[in-house]
A and B are shown apart, each in its own frame.
Chain A
Amino acid sequence: AQSVTQLGSHVSVSEGALVLLRCNYSSSVPPYLFWYVQYPNQGLQLLLKYTSAATLVKGINGFEAEFKKSETSFHLTKPSAHMSDAAEYFCAVRGTGRRALTFGSGTRLQVQP
């Protein structure tokens, strides 16, 4: 069975600082991995995905994530935080066989002026 762990339910950074949101996964097969963002009162929007091509994945809004098989990690980063990045971020792994995605518990990002 697959699972996802997101370290830190809340992360606070200053505007202009590095954003690092952590995600570790467990999967019995080579995974597909996703990062979604949820802005207040909205649904989830895909930021980026890893599908066994390049290990460094670039997404929208300046975010990127690196797949590290040896560490079973897929951490999300952005060099310089903007106020508009304040949202909740979810890491997800594709299930084996016919299953749907398995989501982490989410990390709420606050950006301080």
Chain B
Amino acid sequence: DADVTQTPRNRITKTGKRIMLECSQTKGHDRMYWYRQDPGLGLQLIYYSFDVKDINKGEISDGYSVSRQAQAKFSLSLESAIPNQTALYFCATSKGQGDNEQFFGPGTRLTVL
């Protein structure tokens, strides 16, 4: 069974629509992250959460919002999707201590038309 799951795996939507991407983990980790991957740019941090009440903006948070519903769940929302948000989105988790090794979900491929 996967430790970090993301739903949906693929999504096509239209400009202006509201979209929610969901992430769940069974690793018992406190920290959760959302990244965006674009070709040639690596991974860019959108938001991160160190516990349910501790949510922080990353490098590219504009146009995105998040919700940490429980220790195991962290959702990413695009309130009004635009074409340049077309990308591969990854959720990751890590322990609250140590080297901060991150464990990644399989990704969600989002296309905004």
Contacts and interface: CB of A to CB of B under 8 A. Distances in A.
A61 interface: no
Contact of A32 (B90, B100, B106): B100
Contact of B105 (A9, A43, A95, A101): A43
A12 B105 CA distance: 28
B100 A103 contact: no
B104 A101 contact: no
Determine the main DSSP class of B at the interface with A.
strand
A9 B41 CA distance: 10
Interface string A22-60: 000000000010101000001111100101000000000
Interface in B85-113: 90, 92, 98-107
A43 B106 CA distance: 4
B82 interface: no
B43 A103 contact: yes
Contacts of B99: 32, 49, 51, 94
Contact of A105 (B35, B41, B56): B41
A94 B100 contact: yes
Nearest to B106: A43
A9 B39 CA distance: 10
Interface of A: 6, 9, 32, 34, 36, 42-46, 49, 51, 90, 94-95, 98, 100-106
Interface of B: 4, 33, 35, 40-45, 48, 50, 56, 58, 90, 92, 98-107
18 contacts: A9-B40, A32-B99, A34-B101, A42-B106, A43-B104, A43-B106, A43-B107, A44-B43, A45-B104, A49-B101, A90-B42, A98-B56, A101-B102, A103-B35, A103-B42, A105-B40, A105-B42, A106-B40
Given A44-B90, A105-B41, 17 more contacts: A9-B40, A43-B4, A43-B105, A43-B107, A44-B92, A44-B102, A46-B103, A49-B99, A51-B99, A98-B50, A100-B45, A100-B58, A100-B100, A101-B100, A101-B102, A103-B35, A105-B42
